[in-house]
Structure 1
């Protein structure tokens, strides 16, 4: 089958107007230019898909850096506000604690009220599971001091129960850590409250 030269030229012109290149084009530059354009078009979706993944990874890395920086700032702030030479920290813990349902703890340091903490049921459960709560952090000068702690809650037979405990201690230039522990006395069937100074 034969086509006139005029028809072929017209078809090539139509393709050129539509933005295409005829397959029978004698121009080799047009063919070689089309191949890289097609490869770039195929690679574009892959690059677009990898861009969000790399962005997510960078965001997660930044979040991790912010968390680490925040932790370091909190430690630095605590060291500045509560230097080791004057630092005193009080903790509350519970050993078994079936004979006492804790409601609140009030602490006086050298006859000055420093904290009055009300507990939620979830916080009491955390103490039952072995958690230790830092209830107070402050500064004390070296010398003799006294802590009085009052525990309020429900004792045996659902009775209202309030009990106090006292400790006198010497504060040196080292930080002082004191634990207020609630424990059950099976012999007396009563809760006991003891104070332990950590060395």
Structure 2
């Protein structure tokens, strides 16, 4: 009898709308859809609330970000060991005497980095930011860094200057800062290179 009711229900659901008018439905069969519909609902587990799912997704995102950060640190330590690591940074003082357009960096007469600056990057440097323009490996010994700065100088004239330094690379990492400083006494920018050990 239950199999017959299920068959009738399946025919009613699968039948077109005009056929539903032609087939009389017994009173016992009218209660069948409630029985059939309630059976799968009890068997299936209740879905998770959206808030709990959102919290799990956020936790997974935070874990992925943490793992990515750790992976980048390990990669940098592997590619650039402390004994051979050299990093070059650019910083800028007030910057009223010089508008930076581009930078070229040579290390031991080899071009290792060049960068064209957008207005937003220049603003970030004016606010005290530092940009890493190069990270690489150098063997111990004497090396020479030459940086070429291009931009607009006083009275908006084209300005190209170079800054050079020779430094001794030891067993520790070397950090080189290329500083652009306004000289109010000379009314022109000064380009300084400082080595941090």
TM-score normalised to the size of structure 1?
0.76
Unaligned runs of 5+ residues in structure 2 are: 1-26, 32-37
Aligned equivalents of 1:91, 1:127: Cα separation in 2: 11
Task: Compute the displacement of 1:196 (Å).
Answer: 1.1
Task: Report what 1:158 is aligned to.
Answer: 156
Task: Compute the displacement of 1:116 (Å).
Answer: 1.1
Query: Which of 79, 82, 101 is equivalent to 2:80?
Result: 82
Task: Report what 2:15 is aligned to.
Answer: none
Task: Report what 2:182 is aligned to.
Answer: 184
Task: Report what 2:142 is aligned to.
Answer: 144
CA RMSD between the two structures? 2.0
Aligned equivalents of 2:51, 2:152: Cα separation in 1: 55
Tell me the secondary structure at the aligned position of residue 73 of structure 2: helix
Task: Compute the displacement of 1:198 (Å).
Answer: 1.4
Task: Compute the displacement of 1:16 (Å).
Answer: 8.2
Q: Deviations over 1:111-170 (max 9, x none)?
A: 111011110111000000110000000000000000011100000000000000100000
Q: Does 1:171 align with 2:133?
A: no
Aligned equivalents of 1:95, 1:141: Cα separation in 2: 32
Aligned equivalents of 1:17, 1:120: Cα separation in 2: 75
Aligned equivalents of 1:115, 1:17: Cα separation in 2: 81
Task: Report what 1:94 is aligned to.
Answer: 92
The structure with the largest alpha-carbon Rg is: 1
Moved over 3 A (4+): 15-19
Tell me the secondary structure at the aligned position of residue 88 of structure 1: strand
Task: Report what 2:119 is aligned to.
Answer: 121
Tell me the secondary structure at the aligned position of residue 49 of structure 2: helix
Aligned equivalents of 2:178, 2:143: Cα separation in 1: 16
Q: Deviations over 1:81-102 (max 9, x none)?
A: 1000100000000011110000
Tell me the secondary structure at the aligned position of residue 70 of structure 2: helix
Aligned equivalents of 1:66, 1:57: Cα separation in 2: 14
Unaligned runs of 5+ residues in structure 1 are: 1-14, 20-36, 42-46
TM-score normalised to the size of structure 2?
0.77
Aligned equivalents of 1:198, 1:185: Cα separation in 2: 23
